């Protein structure tokens, strides 16, 4: 039986841009559009031309993408003609392959929000779709609040959809605008190969609702990368895509444009978006998260090494992710061996130093270290025990000073000053730096002058700093996790533990610098 084609519509740049704290520049939008294009998404909705300068500029020229680059906007305003509506005119001028109109499909909204009649709403839909079709554009109609509207007045909601269909719209998209609909309700969606689903995640059902719609007949799925979107987000295409490609129930009945090779780029695309938004990727994200294929317990780990399918629902490399066996107090030798293989430290299976490393990891984890989260510190520890890590430099002493005083304007300010004395090849180097806090000052002073190694760490940047107070039984200690990044975009995490927060931070900072030197072949 021939498989039916499903179409993917990404609205990261339009609906996803509604997320709190997300502001895409034109360059961001172009970069994300190219990434989605390379991924094989059928439609990329770029924005709302006429609504803001960036979106207007985005659609001011043809962007030469393989995807159907789509402009979003409203149907003509009530009481105006299509030719006398500046908003519609701007939309029709946009250099877009497709136009996605949004229209009310709930009579209550038509009355209260638009303050117009159902007849005028239908006429606005007809006129707008006709105008866009006459300009040669493919047309989609987003039926806002469709599911609530359908419950309240089904004939009217359907009349809105039908009006657009009759004027030649390619897709009628049923929107669960406030995200409150549940999968069994969505499954009552009208079947038909011109229906799309646009689900929001307010009950965490956006992915389930999208799949339910497909089962019921919808052939287009709208969503965003990483589920970006206002409130609780939109349907997450990063979870939907592998489900469609890898789960037999969908894969046997449907096909999407993404090839297997493109699917392998999914984890990277997901992380690249987070990178652009300057936020840490969700470790527990299905399919693509760092922990999505992480196994902790030793007994599971040894089974996974023998036969991955025993504990994995799909193969991680299909989506560009990788298997991760956690080094932990529950883990055994197989975890350590697998992890060493991954980081490229060659060792014989029977090498007794593996036992030494495992004991050391267990001892340190009991003291509060967390190597599962700090892969770079684990790698350094392993290399120190199994190979040799050069002693690049010694920190002879450091001094961190926190002072609260009045500044020249009479305001109370707190300033931190760190002085670090480093010895490299018998020579002492002293650096001082001010920071907005003691750890920041220490970090800056430590990285200010490392003599001949300075060139290797110039691109090093501290991007995340997490502190936890732990009770290890005998005393309260502080665990510090530091995430760093270099000029290539590589990220790594290091850990430090001490009763003193500055000392714990110092250990993690030192590991980060030494890790970078080792990786750079200094």
Helix runs in 252-374, H state only: 260-263, 266-277, 298-306, 333-343, 353-366
Question: What CA–CA distance (Å, rounded) separates 218 from 216?
Answer: 6
Residue among 442, 428, 435 nearest 496 (CA): 442
Q: How far is the CB of 144 from Zn ion (least distance, A)?
A: 8
Please choose, out of 13-21, 155-163, 185-193, 306-314, the segment that lies near Zn ion by the rule CB under 5 A. Answer: 13-21
Q: How far is the CB of 55 from Zn ion (least distance, A)?
A: 16
Please choose, out of 9-17, 116-124, 298-306, 415-423, the segment that lies near Zn ion by the rule CB under 5 A. Answer: 9-17
Beta-strand pair 43-47/7-10: parallel
Q: Does 45 interact with Zn ion (rule: CB under 5 A)? A: no
Q: How far is the CB of 42 from Zn ion (least distance, A)?
A: 18
Answer whether 3's CB lies under 8 Å from 254's CB. Answer: yes
Please choose, out of 8-16, 187-195, 313-321, 374-382, the segment that lies near Zn ion by the rule CB under 5 A. Answer: 8-16
Question: What CA–CA distance (Å, rounded) separates 149 from 336?
Answer: 57
Answer whether 238's CB lies under 8 Å from 266's CB. Answer: yes
Residue 13 or 517 with smaller CB distance to Zn ion: 13
SS in 3 state form for 40-106?
Answer: CCCEEEEECECCEHHHHHHCCCCCCCCCEEEEEEECCCCCCCHHHCHHHHHHHHCCCCEEEEEEECC
Residues 83-102 that bind Zn ion (CB under 5 A): none
Q: How far is the CB of 293 from Zn ion (least distance, A)?
A: 31
Q: How far is the CB of 45 from Zn ion (least distance, A)?
A: 10
Q: Does 486 interact with Zn ion (rule: CB under 5 A)? A: no
Residue 15 or 107 with smaller CB distance to Zn ion: 15
Q: How far is the CB of 234 from Zn ion (least distance, A)?
A: 6
Q: How far is the CB of 125 from Zn ion (least distance, A)?
A: 18
3-state secondary structure of 128: helix
Question: What CA–CA distance (Å, rounded) separates 92 from 102?
Answer: 14
Residues 264-323 that bind Zn ion (CB under 5 A): none
Residue 174 or 460 with smaller CB distance to Zn ion: 174
Residue 43 or 506 with smaller CB distance to Zn ion: 43
Please choose, out of 11-19, 26-34, 150-158, 502-510, the segment that lies near Zn ion by the rule CB under 5 A. Answer: 11-19
Answer whether 240's CB lies under 8 Å from 207's CB. Answer: yes
Q: How far is the CB of 222 from Zn ion (least distance, A)?
A: 8
Residue 16 or 320 with smaller CB distance to Zn ion: 16
Q: Give the CB-nearest residue to Zn ion.
A: 15
Could you give the C-alpha distances from 352 to 25, 264, 327, in angstroms and in order? 55, 38, 17
Residue 15 or 167 with smaller CB distance to Zn ion: 15
Answer whether 160's CB lies under 8 Å from 190's CB. Answer: no
Task: Find how far residue 226's CA is from the centre of its chain.
Answer: 5
Q: Does 15 interact with Zn ion (rule: CB under 5 A)? A: yes
Answer whether 394's CB lies under 8 Å from 380's CB. Answer: no
Residues in the chain: 522
Residue 15 or 483 with smaller CB distance to Zn ion: 15
Residue 238 or 518 with smaller CB distance to Zn ion: 238
Residue 169 or 301 with smaller CB distance to Zn ion: 169
Please choose, out of 14-22, 52-60, 111-119, 149-157, the segment that lies near Zn ion by the rule CB under 5 A. Answer: 14-22
Could you give the C-alpha distances from 65 to 27, 95, 447, in angstroms and in order? 15, 12, 43
Q: Please, is 84 exposed, middle or buried when counting C-beta atoms within 10 Å of its C-beta (0-12, 13-18, 19+)?
A: exposed
Which residues is 98 bridged to in the sheet?
Answer: 70, 138
- Number of residues binding to Zn ion, judged by CB under 5 A: 1
Residue 15 or 375 with smaller CB distance to Zn ion: 15
Helix runs in 196-236, H state only: 206-216
Q: How far is the CB of 313 from Zn ion (least distance, A)?
A: 29
Helix (H) or strand (E) holding 382: helix 375-386
Q: How far is the CB of 20 from Zn ion (least distance, A)?
A: 15
Residue 232 or 309 with smaller CB distance to Zn ion: 232
Residue 182 or 367 with smaller CB distance to Zn ion: 182
The 240-269 site mask, x for binding Zn ion (CB under 5 A), equals ------------------------------
3-state secondary structure of 505: helix
Q: Does 10 interact with Zn ion (rule: CB under 5 A)? A: no
Beta-strand pair 4-5/254-255: parallel
Please choose, out of 7-15, 94-102, 416-424, 476-484, the segment that lies near Zn ion by the rule CB under 5 A. Answer: 7-15
Task: Find how far residue 446's CA is from the centre of its chain.
Answer: 32
Q: How far is the CB of 395 from Zn ion (least distance, A)?
A: 53
Please choose, out of 12-20, 252-260, 300-308, 399-407, the segment that lies near Zn ion by the rule CB under 5 A. Answer: 12-20
The angle subtended at Cα 144 by Cα 37 and Cα 227, nearest 5°, is 40
Residue 15 or 55 with smaller CB distance to Zn ion: 15
- Which residues lie near Zn ion (CB under 5 A)? 15
């Amino acid at each position: 039986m021939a498989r039916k084609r499903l179409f993917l519509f990404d609205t990261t740049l339009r609906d996803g841009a509604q997320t709190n704290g997300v502001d895409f520049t034109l360059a961001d939008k172009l970069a994300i559009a190219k990434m989605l294009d390379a991924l094989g998404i059928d439609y990329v909705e770029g924005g709302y031309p006429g609504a803001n300068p960036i979106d207007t500029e985005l659609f001011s020229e043809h962007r030469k993408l393989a995807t159907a680059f789509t402009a979003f906007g409203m149907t003509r305003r009530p009481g105006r003609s299509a030719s006398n509506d500046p908003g519609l005119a701007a939309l029709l001028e946009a250099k877009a392959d497709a136009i996605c109109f949004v229209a009310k499909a709930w009579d209550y909204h038509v009355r209260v929000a638009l303050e117009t009649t159902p007849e005028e709403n239908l006429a606005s839909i007809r006129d707008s779709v006709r105008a866009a079709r006459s300009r040669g554009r493919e047309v989609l109609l987003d039926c806002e609040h469709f599911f609530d509207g359908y419950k309240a007045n089904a004939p009217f909601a359907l009349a809105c959809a039908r009006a657009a269909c009759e004027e030649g719209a390619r897709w009628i998209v049923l929107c669960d605008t406030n995200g409150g609909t549940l999968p069994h309700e969505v499954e009552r969606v009208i079947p038909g190969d011109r229906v799309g689903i646009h689900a929001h995640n307010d009950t965490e059902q956006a992915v389930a609702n999208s799949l339910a719609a497909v089962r019921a007949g919808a052939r287009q799925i709208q969503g965003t990368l990483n589920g970006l979107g206002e409130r609780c987000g939109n349907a997450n295409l990063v979870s939907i895509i592998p489900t469609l490609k890898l789960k037999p129930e969908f894969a046997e009945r449907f096909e999407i444009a993404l090839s297997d090779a493109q699917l392998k780029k999914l984890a990277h695309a997901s992380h690249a978006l987070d990178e652009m938004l300057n936020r840490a990727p969700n470790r527990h994200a299905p399919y693509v998260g760092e922990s999505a294929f992480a196994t902790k317990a030793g007994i599971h780990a040894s089974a996974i090494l023998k036969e991955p399918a025993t504990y994995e629902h799909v193969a991680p490399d299909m989506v560009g992710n990788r298997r991760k066996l956690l080094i932990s107090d529950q883990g055994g030798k197989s975890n350590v061996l697998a992890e060493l293989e991954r980081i490229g430290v060659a060792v014989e299976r029977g090498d007794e130093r593996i036992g030494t490393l495992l004991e050391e990891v267990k001892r340190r984890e009991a003291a509060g270290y967390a190597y599962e989260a700090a892969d770079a510190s684990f790698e350094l520890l392993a290399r120190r025990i199994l190979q040799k890590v050069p002693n690049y430099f010694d920190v002879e002493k450091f001094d961190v000073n926190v002072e609260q005083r009045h500044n020249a304007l009479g305001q109370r300010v707190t300033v931190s000053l760190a002085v670090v004395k480093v010895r490299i090849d018998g020579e002492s180097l002293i650096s001082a730096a001010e920071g907005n806090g003691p750890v920041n000052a220490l970090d800056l002073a430590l990285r200010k002058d490392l003599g001949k190694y300075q060139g290797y760490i110039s691109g090093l940047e501290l991007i995340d700093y997490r502190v936890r107070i732990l009770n290890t039984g005998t005393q309260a200690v502080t665990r510090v996790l530091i995430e760093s990044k270099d000029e290539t975009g590589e990220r790594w995490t290091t850990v430090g533990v001490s009763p003193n927060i500055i000392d714990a931070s110092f250990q993690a900072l030192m590991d980060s610098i030494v890790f970078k030197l080792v990786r750079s072949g200094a």
